[in-house]
């Protein structure tokens, strides 16, 4: 925490910086990558107003931060989820729960081609008789 203060009876103000680091993908069996969203790093500046009861049990954690910083983390998280869904690491139903629709990896049976219609057979040329 870079700032803490008692701001009233049973109330405190806490300010801190959250360091958000994304995987390089290798822990999911993917080749390590430093290309976005993999290996991304973000700092989020957070502030919380905390209320506790008389036994010092937390009853309210009212946290806020910068919307732009949170949007950047959310966007990178969505991109990682999309990648993991695309490679099949996350099941299609779970991906759908995140709003990500992936193509069904089950191959669809090929429809048989219709037989070619043949032209009427050519009549053989008559052989010349001597």
C-alpha distances (whole Å) from 46 to each of 21, 22, 65 are 16, 19, 5
pTM check: above 0.75? no
CA 22 to chain centroid? 12
Mean pLDDT confidence for 45-62: 96
Angle at 86 between CA 80 and CA 91, to 5 degrees: 95
Spatial CB neighbours of 8, under 8 Å, sequence gap ≥ 6: none
Q: pLDDT for 4-40, tens place per residue?
A: 999 999 999 999 999 999 999 999 999 999 999 999 9
Residue 80 CA to residue 52 CA, distance in Å, equals 37
Q: What is the mean pLDDT of the chain?
A: 85
Q: Residue 88: which residues within 8 A CB-CB, separation 6 or more?
A: 102, 105
Average pLDDT value for residue range 110-123 = 51
Phi-psi sector, 36: left (phi>0), alpha (psi -120 to 50), beta: beta
């Amino acid at each position: 925490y870079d700032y803490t203060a008692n701001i009233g009876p049973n109330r405190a103000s806490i300010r801190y910086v959250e360091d958000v680091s994304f995987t390089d993908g290798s822990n999911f069996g993917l080749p390590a990558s430093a290309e976005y969203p993999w290996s991304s790093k973000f700092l989020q500046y957070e502030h919380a107003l905390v209320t506790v009861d008389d036994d010092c049990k937390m009853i309210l954690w009212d946290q806020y931060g910068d919307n732009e910083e949170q949007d950047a983390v959310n966007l990178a998280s969505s991109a990682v989820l999309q990648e993991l869904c695309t490679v099949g690491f996350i099941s299609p139903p779970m991906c759908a729960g995140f709003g990500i629709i992936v193509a069904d990896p089950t191959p669809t049976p090929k429809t048989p081609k219709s037989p070619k219609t043949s032209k009427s057979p050519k009549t053989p040329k008559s052989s010349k008789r001597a």
